Amino acid sequence: MYIKNRPSRFVEILIHIMVWTILFSSPFLFMPNDINESWLFFYSRFCFSQLIVIIIFYSNYFLLINKYLFDRKVRTFLTINIIAIIAGSVLMYLVDDVFVPIGSAHHGSAHPGSVPPGEKPPIKLGWMLKIGRDTIFYILTAGLSVAIKMTSQWYSEESQRKELEKNHYEAELKNLKSQLNPHFLFNTLNNIYSLVAISQDRAQSAIHQLSKLLRYVLYDNYETEVPLSKEIEFINNYLDLVKLRFSSKADISFEIKGEPSEWNIAPMLFISLIENAFKHGINGSGKSFVHINLFVDNEKLLFDVENSYFDKHSDDRSGSGIGLDNLRKRLAIIYGKNASFTAGRKDDKFISEIRIIRKNIISHKKSENE
């Protein structure tokens, strides 16, 4: 699977080359003005030591960690590393024991290891200290390879997890949209069906209004975002359709405050609240109302619906109740913590509200606080 934002193999190799180049070049920072054989011996020993470091590092990085540590064979992994580290430390001790006297002889001493007049004798380490010093260094090298490999593995798995999560959310969102269209059409056709028995002319007008709604549903509903003005036009068309049936029975209003042209919004985000308001808020036996309000400014959007509330009869099967559930899920997937949805009954009213805060406004405020 292709993981977005993951460094390419070429970049990874380039980083390794740069690190080792810097490491092998570091002794030149302390190079004496006149390069003598003693310094060349020191650099040769340094390079030999780094060769062991490379062997320990990459044997872990490319082989041992994948084959044993990730496969939960920790004991085998530790055993191989202990043997390799001890072997490397002993090898470096033998190199020092065999070649240091040679380097001292090249330095001009009459006897290997003798000290020129006026100079302090160098501090000599015992064989246990020498092996212990190199052992610690190689243990740190093995630990570094494990840390880098584990971090790379975690990054890869986290990237895959986020990619799968994103695909899951996108699939779920598509599923919710596919449920939304039939649900919306079901309620709208119920309204037209009721009009047929009242007036055929009004029913024909309703069908014309429905064609406008379907145009929006079919062509704009599958966009990620649409201008808020289009959503407002869609709501007005829907209300015109509903008023053909309920105009004499209910107080219906839609009030807009602010400048909608500055906002884009997920399509058909508010229709579930409106449908729910008419489903529970209109009753021929009592005073009914549906008041819809939209407020927008540069930072936030508030959409609330307040309606009279009447309990449905037990034989009323209009709607399936999936509209508000879908709305909650869509808000969570699309806007996350930047959106909230509340709905509940208060006395003989039902009030529902959607609040959306712009993401760029939140990011801007965070940067200002920092």
pLDDT tens-digit map of 298-310: 999 999 999 998 7
Specify whether 157 is located in the same domain as 221. Answer: no
Q: Residue 257: what pLDDT?
A: 94
Specify whether 135 is located in the same domain as 268. Answer: no
Specify whether 331 is located in the same domain as 237. Answer: yes
Half-sphere exposure of 272 (CA within 13 A, CB side): 28
Specify whether 134 is located in the same domain as 249. Answer: no
Specify whether 24 is located in the same domain as 146. Answer: yes
Query: What's the CA gap between 291 and 280, in Å, rounded?
Result: 13
Using one digit for the tens of pLDDT, what is the confidence trace for 93-144? 887 766 554 444 444 444 444 444 444 444 455 677 878 888 898 899 899 8
Specify whether 210 is located in the same domain as 111. Answer: no
Write down which residue in 139, 161, 183 finishes a domain. 161
The CATH number of the domain where 340 resides is what?
Answer: 3.30.565.10
Which residues, at least 6 apart from 223, have a Cβ–Cβ distance to it below 8 Å? 267
- Domain-located, residue 172: no
Q: What's the distance, Cα to Cα, between the start and end of the chain in Å?
A: 37
Which residue range is the domain that position 56 belongs to? 9-161
Give residue for tokens 């200290």: 129
Specify whether 156 is located in the same domain as 225. Answer: no
Is 221 in a helix, a strand, or coil?
A: coil
User: Is a pLDDT exceeding 90 seen at residue 239?
Assistant: no
- Domain-located, residue 218: yes
Specify whether 20 is located in the same domain as 104. Answer: yes
Domain count, the chain: 2
Tell me if 89 sits within 8 A of 135, measured CB to CB.
yes
- Domain-located, residue 141: yes
Specify whether 208 is located in the same domain as 126. Answer: no
Specify whether 231 is located in the same domain as 365. Answer: yes
Q: What is the pTM of this model?
A: 0.51
Using one digit for the tens of pLDDT, what is the confidence trace for 23-78? 888 887 777 666 666 777 778 878 888 899 999 999 998 899 888 888 889 999 99
Write down which residue in 138, 161, 184 finishes a domain. 161
- The strand ranges marked E within the chain are 226-227, 250-257, 264-265, 288-296, 300-308, 339-346, 349-357
Specify whether 155 is located in the same domain as 205. Answer: no
Using one digit for the tens of pLDDT, what is the confidence trace for 133-159? 888 988 998 998 898 888 888 888 888
Q: Label residues 120-146 b or e (16+ Cβ within 10 Å = b).
A: eeeeeeeeeebbeebbebbeebbeebb
- Domain-located, residue 245: yes
Specify whether 156 is located in the same domain as 236. Answer: no
Give residue for tokens 């062509």: 219
Half-sphere exposure of 81 (CA within 13 A, CB side): 30
